[in-house]
């Protein structure tokens, strides 16, 4: 395609469109990406496609290999998923406890608005997984931002955990389970109850792990082996 790109051909728009194709596995895990063919499919020039691919490389959804160009990254396996959630059990539990006891930076109001926003957008939508991905990222990111630790936030964001986990099948297609768990966390934070907030976050992460682990057949390395750190492990 030649000429000026359309409004749907901006880098941001093309990035979202390609990311959706990857998250929905319509570009299969490990598949080589033909930039020219992708540009034709999307009806845009190659320039925004190349720029979008570079952004997706930063998200670890795309990898460049010598002499082979770009390909999508592989899905998490069960061990990868377990390690990701064990990391989150450390960071999220620490963050939610810190956020709940800090009355000046308490994020309850912002968290409440985020949950309400998601429920409004998801109303009447059959499959809300993309909306749920955005909501989950914002919800947990708001808690971590309230703590104000840039090193922890960079380490957390660097895992791109939400993106990779949501590429797996999750039965929570209407978001009901996630919202229920998020509201329990929200209530505990609003009450400045650090113990209740930590317990609610722990239950949420373990439940989320099992939802995503449903993508794998039962067998050796059962998802029941997720290690849940005791409170003394966190400090």
DSSP 147-186: HT-HHHHHHHHHTTHHHHHTTS--S-TT-HHHHHHHHHHH
Same domain, 102 and 186: yes
pLDDT one-digit tens code per residue, 80-122: 999 999 999 999 999 999 999 988 889 999 999 999 999 999 9
Q: Rounded to whole angstroms, how far apart are CA atoms 208 and 43?
A: 37
Whether residue 1 lies inside any domain: the answer is no
Confidence of residue 129 (pLDDT cuts 50, 70, 90): confident
Three-state secondary-structure class, residue 65: strand
Whether residue 26 lies inside any domain: the answer is yes
Question: How many domains is the chain partitioned into structurally?
Answer: 2
What would the mean pLDDT of 144-166 be, rounded to a whole number? Answer: 92
Whether residue 195 lies inside any domain: the answer is yes
Q: Rounded to whole angstroms, how far apart are CA atoms 46 and 216?
A: 37
Query: Residue 54: CB partners within 8 Å, gap ≥ 6?
Result: none
Domain boundary among the residues 57, 72, 87 is at 72
Three-state secondary-structure class, residue 193: coil
Whether residue 116 lies inside any domain: the answer is yes
Same domain, 83 and 58: no
Q: Rounded to whole angstroms, how far apart are CA atoms 180 and 184?
A: 6
Handedness of CA 111, 189, 148, 93 (dihedral sign): negative
Same domain, 146 and 44: no
pLDDT one-digit tens code per residue, 156-202: 998 998 889 988 876 777 899 999 999 999 999 999 999 999 999 99
- Residues 39-68 as b or e (16 or more Cβ within 10 Å = b): beebebbeebbeebbebbeeeebbeeeeee
Residue 148 is part of which domain span?
78-234
């Amino acid at each position: 395609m030649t000429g000026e790109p359309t409004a749907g051909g901006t880098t941001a728009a093309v990035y979202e469109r390609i990311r959706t194709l990857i998250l929905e596995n319509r570009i299969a895990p490990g598949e080589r990406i033909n930039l020219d063919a992708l540009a034709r499919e999307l009806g845009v020039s190659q320039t925004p496609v190349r720029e979008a691919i570079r952004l997706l490389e930063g998200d670890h959804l795309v990898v460049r290999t010598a002499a082979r160009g770009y390909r999508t990254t592989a899905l998490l396996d069960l061990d990868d998923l377990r390690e990701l959630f064990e990391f989150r059990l450390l960071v999220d539990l620490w963050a939610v406890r810190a956020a709940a006891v800090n009355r000046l930076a308490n994020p309850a109001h912002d968290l409440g608005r985020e949950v309400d926003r998601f429920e409004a957008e998801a109303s009447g939508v059959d499959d809300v997984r993309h909306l749920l991905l955005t909501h989950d990222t914002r919800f947990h990111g708001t808690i971590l931002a309230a703590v104000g630790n840039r090193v922890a936030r960079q380490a957390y964001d660097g895992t791109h955990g939400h993106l990779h986990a949501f590429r797996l099948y999750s039965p929570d297609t209407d978001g009901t389970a996630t919202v229920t768990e998020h509201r329990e966390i929200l209530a505990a934070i609003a009450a400045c109850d650090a113990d209740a907030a930590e317990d609610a976050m722990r239950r949420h992460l373990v439940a989320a792990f099992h939802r995503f682990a449903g993508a794998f057949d039962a067998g050796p390395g059962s998802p029941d082996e997720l290690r849940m750190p005791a409170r003394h492990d966190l400090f």
